[in-house]
Amino acid sequence: MSIPYISNDNKGVSLHVMEPEKDLRYYWRALIVRKHYFIWPALAVMLIAILVALLLPSVYESKSAILIEEQQIPPDFVKSTVTGYADQRIQSLNQQILSRTRLLDIIRQFDLYSDLRGRYTQEEIVEKMRDDINIELISAEVGDQKRKRPGRTGQEGVTIAFTIAYRGKNPDVVQKVAGTLASLYLQENLKIREEQAKTTTKFLETELKEIQERLKDIGQKITDFKAKNEGILPELQQFNISQADRLEKEIDQLKVQIQAAEDRKIYLEGQLASVKPDTPIISATGERVLDPNSRLHQLEVVLADLQSKFSNNHPDVIKVKREMAELQKLTGSPGGSPSIKRQKLTKLQAELAALQGRYSDQHPEVVKLKKEIAELEKMPASGGAAKPVEQPENPAYVNLLTNIQAAANDIQALKRQRADLESKLRIYRQRLEDAPKVEQEYLALTRDYQNAHAKHQEIMNKILEARIAEGMEESQKGEKFTIIDPASYPEKPVAPKRGLIALAGLILGLGAGLGLVALTENLDHSVKNTDELAWLTGLPVLGRITRIITPEDLARQKQRKRLIWSAAGVTFFVGLLIFHFFVMDLWIFYARLERFVGKYL
């Protein structure tokens, strides 16, 4: 309430009125005056909220708790081939079980979301079901440092269980769907673990076949390499060295033996030069001992003498002829006396034996002498018949010739033996020379074989472990999911919160009424009491008369009411749209409202 006061100054008397204060009584008076603007919006909003709370369908939730059990056999004895953390596997299971195909099968099985079909696509219905399914992981702190890992919140822990919850309108169906989802998680987890264990085993078996083929290939290469480089392999190097040393010693010994044989032959040749080949041999009676050829020559002379005296049938002639025939068989000569050819042939053979003792068979003198002997042997004897060559008659000469020939033969044998040993020595020396290169290639092959063999053994061990792990998974002795709290029948709905909706409607209704009162009060610029009049005019109010409503006032009131009701209509229409698209379809709301009213009327 404003307080007027009078000031007295030199110019006269003036009235000063203070601006009226808007206290609680002012607002209360405004509320009383505009009570209709407050009551009707408040009642409308509260009624709508109550209807929404009553008509919204009840939502039930059923939940299953699944425990992640560790494998029953200690990991130190049997290692599982299924790796990764539990929450990672659960996320993988989510992608498979909450896939479009799986959820559509569940929707058809339990006839879910029948009220949405025809108005929404399958993708939207599937997405709605995903929203109604809730998976929560349960973690716990563990003392085992090996099992610790950073959790989603940054804390260290391990997932020990998880829950599967499903929300729906029918409690019986909700329970069945939650149980079905839990069973799917158990079955899919078991299936995935078995498949992963089998896949691991198959992969290792494939790797084993490949490494076996590689071992076979390397083994064949080593076999071929050994066959190609026989005697040069690293393990034979010491043997080759010892053989080369032995051959060198034997060659040195042969050189000494050859030198001794050559010296002996030279000595015999010196003695042969001092002995005559035709020195006759005298018997104990003083008679000359003839060799078969000489005797044959003598008998030829005797036969010629007898044939000059007697006929061919004479006993002496026959006797001489018989003896000559025997001597011819003994000497190999068809008849006739020793010729110059035989003497020359004997001489050449002696010279050849002497040259062979000093030179090899390829020496020009030896080759020339052999050629002369061959030509002489081909030459026919005089008289048309080949006659035996006269042999030396001196036994000492013959003995020396024999010893010289034996010495020459020994020299040739020793030289051949030396050449054979030298050839072998060259082979062993070549082996020792090629050994380093062969050793590098051989070591590379053996190293590849050893690596492949170690890999083969490693894979064999892994296959054994994988098969044991596969058997553990098949017998369900590994890590598995166990339902510790099966889906129960929901007795009370979890949504909507009807009390909260009604309370929110009450608050919104009061707010709407007060807001509408405040709006109309601010839009009304008329003078409402004497204090405002005194403040506006600056004059004291002497009296008050009833308001006179003019046609202009009536027009302004109608315009103001139209504006208010238009705003209320727009607000109501927007509210209906929000309710229709974000809360409930209006046709469904109307059907439920009709059923609700019919139930109580």
pLDDT tens-digit readout, 206-222: 998 999 999 999 889 88
Look at residue 294 in the predicted model and tell me its pLDDT.
Answer: 66
Q: Give the Cα separation of 580 and 119 in Å (integer).
A: 14
Q: Which long-range contacts (CB under 8 A, 24 or more apart) does 34-43 make?
A: 34/517, 34/520, 34/521, 37/513, 37/516, 37/517, 37/520, 37/564, 38/513, 38/514, 38/516, 38/517, 39/513, 40/513, 41/509, 41/512, 41/513, 41/516, 41/568, 42/509, 42/510, 42/512, 42/513, 43/509
Mean pLDDT: which of 130-144, 246-260, 333-347 is highest?
A: 246-260
Distance CA 71, CA 471 (A): 13
Q: 139-148, 346-355, 536-545: which range is least confident on average? A: 139-148
Confidence class of residue 274 from pLDDT cuts 50, 70 and 90?
A: confident
Q: For residue 149, what pLDDT is reported?
A: 46
In a domain, 512, yes or no: yes
Are 438 and 234 spatial neighbours (Cβ–Cβ below 8 Å)?
yes
Q: Which of 9-18, 48-57, 541-550 has the lowest mean pLDDT?
A: 9-18
Helix or strand (DSSP H, E) at 178: helix 171-228
Please tell me the distance from the alpha carbon of residue 215 to that of residue 303, in angstroms, as a whole number. Answer: 93
> 162 near 142, Cβ under 8 Å?
no
**From 128-132, 170-174, 295-299, 556-560, the region with the lowest mean pLDDT:** 295-299
Task: Give 207: exposed, middle or buried? Use CB within 10 Å, 0-12, 13-18, 19+.
Answer: middle
Q: Taking a C-beta distance cutoff of 8 angstroms, is the pair 359, 365 a contact? A: yes
Residue (of 81, 65, 88, 63) closest to 151 by Cα position? 88
Predicted confidence at residue 193, as pLDDT, reads 83
Nearest to 419 by CA among 365, 351, 366, 362: 362
3-state helix, strand, coil split of the chain in percent (to 5) is: 65, 10, 25
- Cis peptide before 380, with omega less than 30 degrees from 0? no
pLDDT(335) > 60:
no
Q: What is the pLDDT of residues 406-464, one digit of tens each?
A: 888 888 888 899 899 888 888 888 888 888 888 888 888 889 989 999 998 998 988 88
Compute the average pLDDT of residues 283-311: 67
Top-confidence range, 174-178, 268-272, 366-370: 174-178
Band the pLDDT of 196: cuts 50, 70, 90: confident
Model confidence at 243: pLDDT above 80: yes
Least confident of 36-45, 315-324, 522-531: 522-531
Domain assignment present for 572? yes
Residue 311 has pLDDT above 70, yes or no: yes
Residue 592 resides in a domain: yes
C-beta separation of 61 from 165 below 8 A: yes
Q: Is 389 helix (H, G, I), strand (E, B) or coil?
A: strand
**Considering the chain, what percentage of its residues have pLDDT values greater than 90?**
15
Q: Of 249-253, 379-383, 384-388, 538-542, where does mean pLDDT reach its minimum? A: 384-388
**Number of domains the chain contains:** 1
**Residue 176 placed within a domain:** no
Q: Is residue 43 one of the residues assigned to a domain? A: yes
The reply to whether 60 falls in a domain is no
Tell me the average pLDDT of the chain.
Answer: 77
Confirm whether 517 is domain-assigned: yes
Q: At what angle do helices 35-55 and 24-33 cross, to 10 degrees?
A: 70
- Please give the residue range of the domain that contains residue 502: 21-55+496-528+545-600
Q: Which pLDDT value is given to residue 200?
A: 86
Q: What is the pLDDT of residue 87?
A: 81
**480-501 per-position pLDDT tens digit:** 888 999 999 988 888 878 788 8
The tokens for 80 are 């599982």
Q: How large a percentage of the chain has pLDDT more than 70? A: 75
In a domain, 501, yes or no: yes
Structure-token pair, residue 324: 């000559």
pLDDT at 343: 54
Give yes or no for residue 198 having a pLDDT over 80: yes
